[in-house]
Chains A and B, each alone.
Chain A
């Protein structure tokens, strides 16, 4: 069942793994932006999560603790962002960009001495005979726990945002922070929690890169995945299921173009390399276009700092 040297089952199974870092980071950022905060530091939080998770996993020998360490590292970095933007009311765009540069630098420093080490392996979830089912087996039952975790998070975030009071309050804060304040909600506290959640998700995504995808530590290992995550959030209209589509699309085309390169395709390598970015943006633009500004679902307070005057 191969097409031009590419097996579609392997392709789907691989894209699910490839997409995990972007998916986790984009989900976290979607929640942050729904609360009205624009944190452009996703790349920085991811790479700090990558090195934080790597060090924790190597030191403790436990990949699970590694992921927690990655999440913690991302959350700590996002706490700095929260302090600057929610307490000192610094500009969110500038602070987010600084966060990325800071994260890249700190991770490089912390990673000295961890080059060339292999982290403890994250095993697949044992599904027993289920994994041997043809076609469905490798796609549905052949992954490590983080893949399932990321999918569960899509559903969980969708459900929380749509059906719970916490989700409603979060959306309300992102929609009109003055009104939320007038009703007695603690705007900055809610945003702080959202930012920490986003940081933890990005950190976990980063840890997946260094612990599973690569798996080792090199400087700049996330290679722009945080920026892709940011773009996906916008084009996905801040909706979790669309974030999943966007992340899988990007991951899928990335895997496909690598396979095509390996298979010796006639298309020049440069075009193949840019394909994931181009096609993802194109598809998501088509999804979110044509319904007017109100229908894109951008939170009305996105990027605006809140200060309770009087």
Chain B
């Protein structure tokens, strides 16, 4: 596969400019770049979802101009999507059939899914509903869907972001097996250690341009990161500090999930002291969203199950908990944490009105609110024309910085954050982590729920894992090994299930 001079411009932004590189047969080629570097657009061109303005592609010596994904699939290009392109209310086999051009009858397809999934060490039961599967199993569905079509080029867009370390190992084994069989793989990621472990060659994109190519094994992760960002990176620093009194305590908290296909919390207990950062890891869909809802007050429990500074707050709603000193930041930026069509000033008011006293006698103090929004923008280096901008107009990283600032500047006793740096580029992520540590240093108890293990190991004092709604006992982060963490995360999901299905 050869790409030459690919260029694609959208109104107001050039997503790709003169991108050229080649992928050899049986090669795992990494495509590196920050959010907004143009990786997705490039991949969509290869998969036939978007047409390039200029440039050409060559597949195995033939000019390659896919008009639509079906044609790309026919020519042997398959893709595993970052946000899974799966249908929750359909079965595994039905999902696979949808991604094929001429699927065989369902019974035959089910048999082929079984045999291919075992051949590649990815056990799957074709009759199960996708909505009931773990993230790792869902990804297997996508991979199997591709493999059944015998692809020449397999595109993988951020495949490991939702997997446990053990599942990542299984995936890598599968990919190496494919490589040995002569399949080319285009592997998109920003996890540099993985790329060093897996990939033969790497192409690095920045602002839509190729800024370098390298052989990942010969470079350090840091060198590649700096190529990607185009600047040197700092590591968050933390000052050692004494642990204070227990600020936030949760005991035997069980709540049903309000989310379709969600996971209920089962007897979750932990305490966080003032000045402590508790990191909660786990694969998505194991109760993280529910835990945030239960801590923020959107889900209520008996009063004494959640205690803040020795006051029972379990039965209080979000506003009352904020007043008591517990603020929280949910994962979903557009719609849950922020109202996308409202201005930054209005969004600042939404959660900070109580603690920052932005209202008087029921009326909004706009001057004060705007000043608060400007304070966040200045403190957190939010790149935006001003506080009057709609939240939707900000890039993911900038909006996340704003939303983090909004919660962290409220001088709360306890702060709960779900996925503080999800989809945020490396520089912004580093600054958000630093701010979280700064907040803890001033005596706040912080709970960080994240799927990024490196992030948790970097900022957390103690570490716990959510698995199917149950939480492990928090352990000090220092001295934890990746293997131990993997075991805490429950190993590879779904192996037992698949074995039952075979029997």
Q: A175-B87, A175-B88, A300-B88 are in contact. Are A182 and B260 (CB under 8 A)?
A: no
Name B3-49 residues within 8 Å CB distance of A. 10, 41, 44, 48-49
Q: Say yes or no for B65: interface residue by CB 8 A criterion.
A: no
> Helix, strand, loop or mixed for chain B's interface?
loop
Tell me if B87 and A294 are in contact (CB < 8 A): no
Q: A310-B44, A310-B50 are in contact. Are A168 and B88 (CB under 8 A)?
A: no
Q: Tell me, in angstroms, the Cα distance from A178 to B10 when the chains sit together.
A: 20
Q: Tell me, in angstroms, the Cα distance from A169 to B99 when the chains sit together.
A: 10
- Distance of B12 from chain A, by nearest CB (Å): 13
B71-104: CB near A (< 8 Å → 1, else 0) gives 0010000000101111111100010011100010
Q: Say yes or no for B470: interface residue by CB 8 A criterion.
A: no
Q: Say yes or no for B131: interface residue by CB 8 A criterion.
A: yes
Chain A: how many interface residues by the 8 Å CB criterion?
21
- Distance of B79 from chain A, by nearest CB (Å): 8
Tell me if A176 and B97 are in contact (CB < 8 A): no
Which of B44, B69, B260 has a CB less than 8 Å from the CB of A294? B260
Residues of chain A lying within 8 A (CB to CB) of residue B90: 168, 171-172, 175
Name B106's closest neighbour in chain A (CB-CB): A163
Q: A165-B103, A169-B98, A294-B131 are in contact. Are A300 and B69 (CB under 8 A)?
A: no
Tell me if A168 and B260 are in contact (CB < 8 A): no
Residues of chain B lying within 8 A (CB to CB) of residue A175: 87-90
Tell me if A172 and B260 are in contact (CB < 8 A): no
Q: Say yes or no for A134: interface residue by CB 8 A criterion.
A: no
Residues of chain B lying within 8 A (CB to CB) of residue A178: 83, 85
A271-310: CB near B (< 8 Å → 1, else 0) gives 0000000000000000000001110010110000000001
Residues of chain A lying within 8 A (CB to CB) of residue B261: 294
Q: Say yes or no for A262: interface residue by CB 8 A criterion.
A: no
Residues of chain B lying within 8 A (CB to CB) of residue A293: 260
Residues of chain B lying within 8 A (CB to CB) of residue A299: 89
Q: Tell me, in angstroms, the Cα distance from A300 to B88 when the chains sit together.
A: 9
Chain B: how many interface residues by the 8 Å CB criterion?
27
Q: Say yes or no for A223: interface residue by CB 8 A criterion.
A: no
- Distance of B154 from chain A, by nearest CB (Å): 16
Which of A165, A176, A292, A297 has a CB less than 8 Å from the CB of B87? A176
Q: Tell me, in angstroms, the Cα distance from A211 to B73 when the chains sit together.
A: 51
A169-195: CB near B (< 8 Å → 1, else 0) gives 101100110111011110000000000
Residues of chain A lying within 8 A (CB to CB) of residue B112: none
Name B94's closest neighbour in chain A (CB-CB): A168
Which of A182, A292, A297 has a CB less than 8 Å from the CB of B69? A182
Residues of chain B lying within 8 A (CB to CB) of residue A171: 87, 89-90
Q: A168-B94, A310-B44, A310-B50 are in contact. Are A179 and B69 (CB under 8 A)?
A: no
Residues of chain A lying within 8 A (CB to CB) of residue B48: 184
Name A163's closest neighbour in chain B (CB-CB): B106
Which of B44, B69, B88, B99 has a CB less than 8 Å from the CB of A176? B88
Q: Tell me, in angstroms, the Cα distance from A294 to B261 when the chains sit together.
A: 7
Residues of chain B lying within 8 A (CB to CB) of residue A184: 48-49, 68-70, 73
Q: A168-B97, A172-B98 are in contact. Are A297 and B89 (CB under 8 A)?
A: yes
Q: Tell me, in angstroms, the Cα distance from A293 to B257 when the chains sit together.
A: 12
Name B130-186 residues within 8 Å CB distance of A. 131
Q: Tell me, in angstroms, the Cα distance from A185 to B94 when the chains sit together.
A: 15
- Distance of A159 from chain B, by nearest CB (Å): 14
Q: Tell me, in angstroms, the Cα distance from A200 to B98 when the chains sit together.
A: 27
- Distance of B395 from chain A, by nearest CB (Å): 15
Name B79's closest neighbour in chain A (CB-CB): A182
Tell me if B99 and A183 are in contact (CB < 8 A): yes
Which of B41, B68, B260 has the most A CB atoms < 10 Å from its CB?
Answer: B260
Q: A294-B131, A294-B261, A310-B41 are in contact. Are A172 and B49 (CB under 8 A)?
A: no
Name B89's closest neighbour in chain A (CB-CB): A175
Tell me if B89 and A183 are in contact (CB < 8 A): no
B113-135: CB near A (< 8 Å → 1, else 0) gives 00000000000000000010000
Tell me if B86 and A179 are in contact (CB < 8 A): yes
Name A186's closest neighbour in chain B (CB-CB): B68
Residues of chain A lying within 8 A (CB to CB) of residue B73: 184
Q: Tell me, in angstroms, the Cα distance from A182 to B82 when the chains sit together.
A: 11
A129-146: CB near B (< 8 Å → 1, else 0) gives 000000000000000000
Q: Tell me, in angstroms, the Cα distance from A185 to B70 when the chains sit together.
A: 9
Q: Tell me, in angstroms, the Cα distance from A183 to B10 when the chains sit together.
A: 22
Name B81's closest neighbour in chain A (CB-CB): A182
Residues of chain B lying within 8 A (CB to CB) of residue A300: 88-89
- Distance of B259 from chain A, by nearest CB (Å): 9
- Distance of A294 from chain B, by nearest CB (Å): 5
- Distance of B85 from chain A, by nearest CB (Å): 4
Name B99's closest neighbour in chain A (CB-CB): A183
Q: Tell me, in angstroms, the Cα distance from A293 to B88 when the chains sit together.
A: 13
Residues of chain A lying within 8 A (CB to CB) of residue B85: 176, 178-180, 182-183
Which of B69, B89, B90, B99 has the most A CB atoms < 10 Å from its CB?
Answer: B89
> What is the interface of chain A, defined by CB distance below 8 A to chain B?
165, 168-169, 171-172, 175-176, 178-180, 182-185, 292-294, 297, 299-300, 310
A-B contact pairs, 24 of them (CB 8 A): A165-B97, A168-B90, A168-B94, A168-B98, A169-B98, A171-B87, A171-B89, A171-B90, A176-B87, A179-B87, A180-B85, A182-B49, A182-B69, A182-B81, A182-B85, A183-B85, A183-B99, A184-B68, A184-B73, A185-B98, A300-B89, A310-B41, A310-B44, A310-B50
Please list the 3 inter-chain residue pairs (A to B) with the smallest Cβ-Cβ separation, ordered nearest first. Answer: A184-B69, A179-B85, A175-B87
